[in-house]
Structure 1
Amino acid sequence: MDRKHFRPGPLAQVSRVPVADRWDLVLVRDLRHPPERVWAALTEPARLAEWAPFLASRDLGAPGEATLSTVDGDRSLDAPSIVLRADPPNLLEYTWGDDRLRWELDRTDGGTRLTLRHRIGRPELAPVMAAGWHLCLDVAGHLLDGDPVGPIRGREARDFGWDELRAAYAERLETDGEA
């Protein structure tokens, strides 16, 4: 796909769940690839560099410390990370600064049901994070399809429908009684 023609796909299944004094943004996407291929995209630094909002200092497929560097244009911000659980190709859980990400991969007839649980500090961040992950996962889908469009990160996301996605996810979260 020509990058300039990239447009985000339909909204994902989304919810915001209170957990103690924080919230989990839960985003569910179906991918038409087996969990083993999705796992590689979630853990291998070279593949993460093609779609994720950060660069990883090492393979995330094993427990231990890492650094995740958020990228925005020519700027990057390093955040400490600890891979807490790595059960290939079913479950990956790690910290990203103060947040926690849990990726659950369930095999389906058509590929993988991917559930992201992103623990956030404030409920109003849910639509912002949902929009960002939506774009990232759309880009990951193209990468897995063999049709890479390149990463869409930081302010550049506004050029690819981020504002509209944020508004749509905010409305969906309110409609679902989550706001």
Structure 2
Amino acid sequence: MLASIEEQSNHHVATFKRPLPHAIEVVWAAITNNDKLQKWMSNLEIIDLRNNGKMHFNMNDGTDAYETIGITDYAENETLEFDWGTDTVRFELSSTDEGTLLLLEETLQALTEHTPKDLAGWHICLDLLADLLDGQERLTFPMESWQQRFHDYKDLLDSVK
């Protein structure tokens, strides 16, 4: 299911909802332990996991180049929020009878030509996360699936504007 996009005063919020049949601690570990995190989002690396901590967005281009990302909200097994350029990304976990509900919210300060690319990327990364939790690690990024999602999010954003 595609993310929903809502306008809120002077920005938009894209919300991805993923029910996962796994305990919160298992999902949290996949989001916050680098050995697991980098299997579904290879660019991210947690450096200092705490409120006001930091992460790296690694370029993965062979140069060891990275951008530092600030962690803006943190509560173990519940919340991880961080800067994402001029935007913010927030993971929230809550227990359900079937496991965990994962919400990923990206607060978008402006809708740009890059926005559908970013949303398609998060969508595919969440698919990779779900696969990893189910014991199916993908070794390559599914570019064909990303391209389809890019077009889906482009259409969705055109209807929002």
- Structures share fold, TM-score greater than 0.5: yes
1:86-165 paired onto structure 2 within 5 Å? 86-124=74-112, 125-150=114-139, 152=141, 157-158=142-143, 160-165=144-149
| Residues 16, 126 of structure 1: 8 Å contact kept | no
2:19 to 5, 19, 30: 30
How many residues align structurally? 160
Matched residues, percent identical? 28
With the length of structure 2 as denominator, give the TM-score of the two structures: 0.83
1:51-66 paired onto structure 2 within 5 Å? 51-58=40-47, 60=49, 62-66=50-54
Deviation, 1:59, is 5.2
What RMSD in Å do the two structures reach over aligned CA positions?
2.4
With the length of structure 1 as denominator, give the TM-score of the two structures: 0.75
Deviation, 1:148, is 0.9
Partners of 2:64 and 2:40 in 1: CA distance: 15
Deviation track 1:157-177 (CA, whole Å, cap 9, x = no partner) reads: 53x321111111233445xx5
The verdict on how the C-alpha distance between 1:96 and 1:36 changes in structure 2, with shifts beyond 3 A counting, is same
| Structure 2 residue runs without a partner (length 5+) | none
For 1:112, give the aligned amino acid. T
Partners of 1:114 and 1:56 in 2: CA distance: 20
Which structure has more relative contact order (CA 8 Å, sep 6+)? It is 1
Residue 151 of structure 2: aligned partner = 167
| Structure 1 residue runs without a partner (length 5+) | 1-11
